[in-house]
Amino acid sequence: MPNEIKGLNEECGLFGIWGADNAAQLTYDGLHSLQHRGQEGAGIVSNENGQFHRQRGLGLLAEVFADPQKIATLPGTAAIGHVRYATAGNHGIKNIQPMFFDHPGEGQFALAHNGNLTNATQLRRDLTKKGVQFQATSDSELLGELIQTSSQTNFIDQLKASLNQLRGGFAYLLMTPQMMVAALDPNGFRPLVVGKLANGAMIVCSETCALDQVGATFVRDVEPGEIIIVTDKGMQIDHFTTDTHLSICSMEYIYFARPDSVIRGISVHEARKRMGAAIAKEAPVKADVVIGVPNSSLSAAIGYAQASGIHYDMGMIKNQYVARTFIEPTQAKRVRGVSMKLSVVKSVVAGKDIVLVDDSIVRGTTSSYIVRLLKRAGAKSVHVRIASPVLKFPCYYGIDIQTTKELIGANHSVPEICQLIGADSLAYLSVNGLVESIGALNDQPNHGLCTAYFDGQYPTPLYDYQAGFDADVARLGLYEGAN
């Protein structure tokens, strides 16, 4: 759905296991620690000697599997699962993964996807011409349809040929009766890791926090362009392309991933602390106390406090029982959502000069609400420090910010945003500061990171999205106006 205003979106989470008696239960446990990557729907497919069983539904994992009997309907020693965060207009059970496909050689296969394809419109058009009838509306289905219509003769060759037709960001988990297969796009936009249980069961999942959850040890990151094939004989590493350019999504480090995860050897929590420390150096301010916006900004706030010497305190509380507010359809609902979610500890802020650290500003809803809340609680001044650069370009690789229209940073200068959110001062981390804080991933350009949201340097052509992007750039003068 390029060029339409869509709800801003999080990502999806993947977990798959091969070779464990309680595969579905372990998949549930792993997905539970990936719930932050998607709260709209969840599903698990188990593999019992080649026979597939599936449970899926809308809502949180615990809601979908509220009936404890449901896990018991998923027998077998292998399973793959998915947590999904969909956009407005794209809801519905049919889009909840894993999806099923028939296959002449394998009988059947299941598929789960994290990411966003940039050539989905074109692929959908080509497949429709071939007579393909789609099960659902999300682009996740396309890989399954490409495999089904491939002229190659075995599943792995069909998969490789199909993956080579995809553009954009994708991490996939597939399961046939005989194997579990993981694949990562040539830029490695999304994290994907391999782990192992003591009994030899192999796991592939989105983040290392899910490995910790099920007591597995980390084996390796899935590399861009790779496919990992797990069968009863063990794990085999193959690739569908060697034309790869690592550009892992910097938003994973800034906001999406859980702080206890490690992405390509870098602790997310430590990277966030370094981002906080870096903005403290770049934009120092005299204040009495540093507070963070719970929960995603707490690591950066600790980093800011440590680097500045200003003490850190728990100035805000998050009500743990409020789910997502971010993709509510109207501004009024979003404001109400934020107000239900966050509250101030008055004793910490009253009469104080405050540094308020947040990980990012998207529309500005959260920061303007919090600044007002802090002032109402008696704060003398509120200095907002954002531990990432100004977010002004859309993302087309799996973080569903595909329009500039709602991005406050695309439409206003930093002094204007400061005024709009009612802060006494506002500063963002520089792009260099961000890249250095995350740390050099390798010797590739931009240290193997995608920073397109901040600098418009997209690591791949945009295909379906190019025309809309060009129109946005022309309308907003984005590159010239870069601050």
- In the complex, minimum distance from the CB of residue 400 to ligand AMP, in angstroms, rounded to a whole number: 7
Tell whether 472 is in a known binding site: no
Whether the bond into 295 is cis, omega within 30 of 0: yes
Report the residue number, 73 or 295, with the smaller CB distance to ligand AMP: 295
| Window 40 to 79, contacts with ligand AMP (CB under 6 A) | none
Residue 95 binds to ligand AMP (criterion: CB under 6 A): no
Q: How far is the CB of 177 from ligand AMP (least distance, A)?
A: 37
What is the per-residue binding string for ligand AMP in 291-330, x denoting contact by CB under 6 A? Answer: --x--x-----------------------------x----
Does 360 bind ligand AMP (CB under 6 A)? Our answer is yes
Smallest separation, CB 362 to ligand AMP (Å): 4
Burial of 144 (0-12, 13-18, 19+ CB in 10 A): buried
Binding span for ligand AMP by CB under 6 A among 39-47, 108-116, 121-129, 355-363:
355-363
Question: Which is nearest to 223 in space by CA: 251, 182, 261?
Answer: 182
Contact 355, 304 (CB under 8 A): yes
Say how many residues touch ligand AMP, by CB under 6 A.
18
Q: Interacting stretch for ligand AMP, rule CB under 6 A, among 66-74, 175-183, 340-348, 362-370?
A: 362-370
Chosen residue from 6, 8, 97, 180 binding ligand AMP by CB under 6 A = 8
Concatenated DSSP letters of 436-458: HHH---SSSGGGGEE-HHHH---
Shortest Cβ distance from residue 415 to ligand AMP (Å)? 17
Interface segment toward ligand AMP; rule CB under 6 A; list 148-156, 177-185, 357-365, 432-440: 357-365
Beta bridge partners of 116: 169
Q: Tell me the two tokens of residue 309.
A: 């010497």
Residue closer to ligand AMP, measured from CB, 308 or 365: 365
Using rule CB under 6 A, residue 397 touches ligand AMP: no
Q: Is position 297 annotated in a ligand binding site?
A: no
User: By CB under 6 A, is residue 363 in contact with ligand AMP?
Assistant: yes
Is 296 annotated to bind ligand? yes
| Contact stretch for ligand AMP (CB under 6 A) within 91-99, 114-122, 361-369, 451-459 | 361-369
Contacts of 157 (CB under 8 A, 6+ apart): 150
If the CB atoms of residues 54 and 190 are measured against ligand AMP, the closer one turns out to be 190
Rule CB under 6 A: is residue 99 a binding residue for ligand AMP?
no
Cβ contact 117:123 at 8 Å: yes
Cα–Cα–Cα angle for 429, 435, 436, rounded to 5 degrees: 90
Q: Which of 366, 403, 411, 446 binds ligand AMP (CB under 6 A)?
A: 366
Please tell me whether residue 362 binds ligand AMP under the rule CB under 6 A: yes
Neighbours of 131 (CB within 10 A): 7
CB 481 within 8 A of CB 415: no
Q: Rounded to 5 degrees, what are φ and ψ at 379?
A: -60, 140
Q: Quick check: 62 and 44 in contact, CB under 8 A?
A: no
Q: How far is the CB of 322 from ligand AMP (least distance, A)?
A: 13
Annotated active-site residue 12? The verdict is yes
Residue 97 interacts with ligand AMP (CB under 6 A): yes or no = no
**β-pair partners for 13:** 83
Residue 349, phi-psi category: left (phi > 0), alpha (psi -120 to 50), beta (remainder):
alpha
Please provide residue 54's backbone torsions phi and psi, each rounded to the nearest 5 degrees: -135, 140
CA distance 82 to 58: 12
The one among 172, 255, 453, 465 contacting ligand AMP by CB under 6 A:
255
**Which x/- pattern over 257-296 shows residues binding ligand AMP (rule: CB under 6 A)?**
------------------------------------x--x
**Closer by beta carbon to ligand AMP, 109 or else 397:** 397
Out of 185, 212, 221, 359, the only residue in the binding site for ligand AMP (CB under 6 A) is 359
Q: In sequence order, what DSSP letters do the residues of 203-244 get, joined into one string?
A: EEES-HHHHHHTTPEEEEEPPTTEEEEEETTEEEEEES-S--
* DSSP-assigned letter for residue 94: G
Kindly give, in sequence order, each residue whose CB lies less than 8 Å from that of residue 397, ignoring residues fewer than 6 positions away. 115, 116, 118, 168, 169, 187, 189, 190, 249, 450, 452
- Which of 12, 209, 395, 418 does the annotation list as catalytic? 12
Q: Round to whole Å and give the CA distance between 449 and 465.
A: 21
Nearest residue (CB) to ligand AMP, 52 versus 256:
256
Q: Where do contacts with ligand AMP occur on this chain (CB under 6 A)?
A: 8, 10, 255, 293, 296, 326, 358-367, 399, 401
Binding-site positions for Mg(2+) read 296, 358-359
Binding-site positions read 296, 358-359
Q: Could you give the residue numbers annotated as active site?
A: 12
